[in-house]
A and B are shown apart, each in its own frame.
Chain A
Amino acid sequence: MTVVTANEPVVAPRRYGNLRRLFRDKLAITAAVLLILLVLAALLAPWLAPNDPYLTNTRLRMLPPVWETRGRWEFLMGTDGLGRCMLSRLLYGLRATLMMGVVATAVGGSIGLLLGLFAAFYRRLDGLIMHLSDILLSFPAILLGLSFAAVVGPGMTAVVISLAVATIPTVVRVTRASALVVMGQDFIEAGRSIGLNDRTLLVRYLALNCISSVFVYMTLRFGQVILLGSALSFLGLGAQPPVAELGTMASAGRNELFLAPHIAVMPSLVIVVLVLCANLLGDALRDMLDPRLRHT
């Protein structure tokens, strides 16, 4: 029989082969590289943007990208309906969209993680937390967005709050399911028997053993959040003018769809690439961390 000491909680052995497996997955590596490039482009937007993204010049409106006949080198990706540089706005828009996705996923994910752990650890709270979670699940994110926009006014704050709130219940469920499995392990019982307090048990024994599955879920959720956030912005609930945000840009571009399709197509393409990369990476991480999928 293995002897378990209080200072050495039983955790799954580190799998050094995981990273190697990830590197062998060409699709995942491509997605990761693209995602890193997009994040870098967003972070460096003020230095990379060739023009002021807010400077309007209606005389130069709807210029096509440089590879088309009317294109101009100073506006590589053309201009939008008000003559603003599309490339600069895409870079700034990417920044806003990524920030929205990261903040909403992090805030919603953290709250969901805590609630999920509490539900599994304190059984008397389980019913209450899960019922609350079920209630939240019954509200579509779009409806939540509309409600918050009505209260705090349309803008990034309303979108981030509604996306964070919409993220909570699903993370609660994933965390709870994962935590319940861990709660059934012997080392939790052993920890209790040697008199460890709840905080240590929750953080060192429970949370650390659930975090990988929750992280994988949040990676996948990040893609959904970007898509939902862009949809809310498309409906006019998100970033307010002149702030560039990919969903808002796609929405503004649809009015010029006949004359300058690049205005709607480009931000939409960036959203597609962003979401696809996040999903591919999430899938790869899940495959890597789930022993049942490791050899498939």
Chain B
Amino acid sequence: MSMKRLALLATAIAGGLAMATPALAQAQNTLTIVREVDSDRYDPHRSTARAASEVLFMLADTLVSLDHDMTSIKPGLAESWTVSPDGKVYTFKLRSDVKFCDGKAMTADDVVYSLKRWIDPATRSPVRWRAGPVEDIIAKDATTVEYRLTAPFSELLYQLTQSFAVVIDKANVEALGADFGVRGFNGTGPYCWGEWRPRNDMRLRRHDAYRWGPPIYENRGPAHIQEIVWRIVPEENTRLAAVLTGQSQATQYVPYSGMAQIRANRNLRIVDNPAAFWTYFIGFKVDKAGVDDPAVRRAMVMAVDQEAISRDINFGETEPAYSYIHQSATDWNKAVDSRLIRTNVAEANRILDEAGWVRGADGFRSKNGVRLSPLAYGFTGSTWQKLMETVQGDLRKIGVDLRIQLFDATVAWGKLATQEFDLFGMSFPYITAGDALNLYFRSTNAPTPNRMNWKDAETDRLLQTGMTAVSDAERAAAYGQVLQQVHDAAVWIPLYHEPMKVAANSRLAPFKAHNIYGCGFYKGLDLRFTR
């Protein structure tokens, strides 16, 4: 078809022009990964974006690591650890052979400094809460760290696998000051800071002394690839063209519409991780007129066709979501399976009729002078534009006039912290039920990230019980009750769970994709060119 060929050619040329010059200069052992956005900086305590974590996992290490199954905790910088019977003291035994990129040996003091900087109010880390209720963190000797809590924190080990908990070099932080993570970064990871050209590319060079990779990899170090280039290509079709033409050898940022082309190309393949622990949803502000009616929320959830979104909009590449977290995540409550709201437009219309919401001449419903036309805020870009418009189309079928306002990411986060809207679109990574629930449903987290204004004493009590539980069963029971509570209240419209899918050039040897914080390459130790 000539039109399609023309479009393909034009995009390939555009992609080629953007990338050709550096690509020609690339050495054989350089891996170029294209991605959509850059981070504003690479300071683990101040950057919460996935774009930052992707690079930080390669630049630095954590005390413990997460296996590809997204549930098993494995050693990292700590070769072993013990937990006191009351769940308040974690003692980590560190490896003694770890070195920073500048050759300096890593000690327990570095670990203590890093973790204390994370929780220091002066750092103003937005993810400080993830460190738990810390009483103190002490270096008992050069290879022993004691992590003391004021109350048990069942999520601690999972949180310590995240990029916020990486070990950094005090001298490097102090020397660079405000430029830490902007002009340099001295870590213990498999790669070292090369050069960063913001919104263009980040170059990482191999850490040759690296031997302490997590046991989830066959190769514990040093990395096979000499240099990794994270290149920013905002336009999705240009990213696809870059992969198709071999200018990028791997990326997880290929549009769903291009997956079939990748699969059909014998020089490419898809490497996936079925643990779809990244969920897209639309949340309700439960105290706003109209959507404060549980019947309205339930009907709206019921009207949305999640299967059609995954099948048609996402080309069958995602998993329809009826639950707020993936049902294989740790502490999912199986009793909620039968209570999940499934698509049923007729039933949704019946619920609204019964609740007294009457259709007007324009086909949209109102009750007591309140018109059912909630306002939804979201992000600009193809993903949310398509999702919001699809949901808007579904809701028209039950007489709900969804109004949409999409904002650029630079404005959106500020807008999403206001009380101006009735619904909001969001996606988030998680590891366990507690991880997700504590983030979104605690009263103290309103108005953001608890943008639903869900303030419920019972939820808070159960979340606290789950967080301070010392047994798995106790924790699962508490979180399980919260899951049932919020699903029954229809606080979100779950849309889909996104599995990790990495498009890889066949020159790369087989490797496993990870999904920690949505970062498909994690430490990248098994990445290797075969030719």
Contact = CB atoms under 8 A, between A and B. Distances in A.
A262 B3 contact: yes
Contacts of B237: 254-255, 257-258
Given A150-B411, A236-B408, A258-B11, A56 B261 contact: no
Interface in B378-395: 380, 382, 385-386, 388-390, 392-394
B396 interface: yes
Contacts of A241: 385, 388-389, 392, 404, 406
A212 to B, nearest CB: 42
B257 A256 contact: yes
Contacts of B6: 261
B390 A56 contact: yes
Given A236-B380, A262-B3, A56 B393 contact: yes
Given A59-B312, A61-B312, A150-B411, A258 B389 contact: no
A58 B406 contact: no
Interface string A241-256: 1100000000010111
A33 interface: no
B4 A58 contact: no
Contacts of B235: 254
A43 interface: no
Given A82-B393, A236-B380, A257 B405 contact: no
Contacts of A150: 411
B346 interface: no
Contacts of A240: 403-406
B362 to A, nearest CB: 12
Contacts of B7: 257-258, 261
A267 interface: no
A55 interface: yes
A81 B235 CA distance: 17
A271 to B, nearest CB: 17
A215 interface: no
B258 interface: yes
Nearest to B307: A58
Contacts of B56: none
A201 to B, nearest CB: 48
Contact of B389 (A68, A82, A153, A257): A82
Interface string A52-83: 00111011010000001000000000000111
Contacts of B8: 258
A58 B390 contact: yes
Contacts, number: 86
Nearest to B313: A58
A258 B393 contact: no
A191 interface: no
A261 B385 contact: no
Contacts of A56: 389-390, 392-394
A259 interface: yes
The interface residues of chain A, by DSSP majority, are classed as loop
B407 interface: yes
A265 interface: yes
A154 interface: yes
B98 interface: no
Contacts of A256: 257
A257 B382 CA distance: 12
Interface residues of A, number: 29
A261 B10 CA distance: 11
A254 B312 CA distance: 17
Given A82-B393, A261-B4, A255 B236 contact: yes
A122 to B, nearest CB: 42
Interface in B227-245: 235-237, 240
Nearest to A56: B393
Nearest to A58: B312
A153 B420 CA distance: 12
B308 interface: yes
B389 A242 contact: yes
Contacts of B133: none
The interface residues of chain B, by DSSP majority, are classed as helix
A255 B313 CA distance: 12
B1 A82 contact: no
A54 B396 contact: yes
Contacts of A262: 3
A265 B3 contact: yes
Contacts of B255: 255
A148 to B, nearest CB: 13
A258 B385 contact: no
B403 A58 contact: no
A265 B403 CA distance: 27
Nearest to A52: B396
B398 interface: no
A155 B404 CA distance: 10
Nearest to B420: A153
B11 A252 contact: no
B276 interface: no
Contacts of A258: 4, 7-8, 11, 237, 240, 257-258, 261
Interface in A210-240: 236, 240
A252 B385 contact: yes
B309 interface: yes
B308 A153 contact: no
Interface string A137-161: 0000000000000100111000000
B417 to A, nearest CB: 16
Nearest to B404: A241
B308 A59 contact: yes
B308 A58 contact: yes
A84 B261 CA distance: 25
A242 to B, nearest CB: 6
Contacts of B305: 58
A81 B386 contact: yes
Contacts of B403: 240
Contacts of A155: 405
A248 to B, nearest CB: 9
A236 B379 CA distance: 10
B392 A242 contact: yes
Contact of A154 (B309, B311, B405): B405
Interface in B57-77: none
Contacts of B308: 58-59
Contact of B406 (A55, A59, A154, A255): A154
A20 to B, nearest CB: 42
Given A54-B396, A56-B394, A153-B405, 19 more contacts: A55-B396, A58-B312, A59-B312, A81-B386, A154-B406, A236-B380, A236-B385, A240-B404, A241-B388, A241-B389, A241-B404, A242-B389, A255-B236, A255-B382, A256-B257, A258-B8, A258-B257, A261-B6, A265-B3
Interface of A: 54-56, 58-59, 61, 68, 81-84, 150, 153-155, 236, 240-242, 252, 254-259, 261-262, 265
Interface of B: 1, 3-4, 6-8, 11, 235-237, 240, 255, 257-258, 261, 305, 308-309, 311-313, 380, 382, 385-386, 388-390, 392-394, 396, 403-408, 411
21 contacts: A56-B389, A56-B393, A56-B394, A58-B305, A58-B309, A58-B311, A58-B313, A59-B312, A81-B386, A82-B389, A82-B393, A84-B393, A236-B380, A240-B404, A241-B385, A242-B404, A255-B236, A257-B11, A258-B7, A258-B8, A258-B258
Sorted nearest first, the 8 A-B pairs with minimum C-beta distance are A56-B393, A58-B312, A255-B382, A261-B7, A236-B380, A261-B3, A241-B389, A58-B308
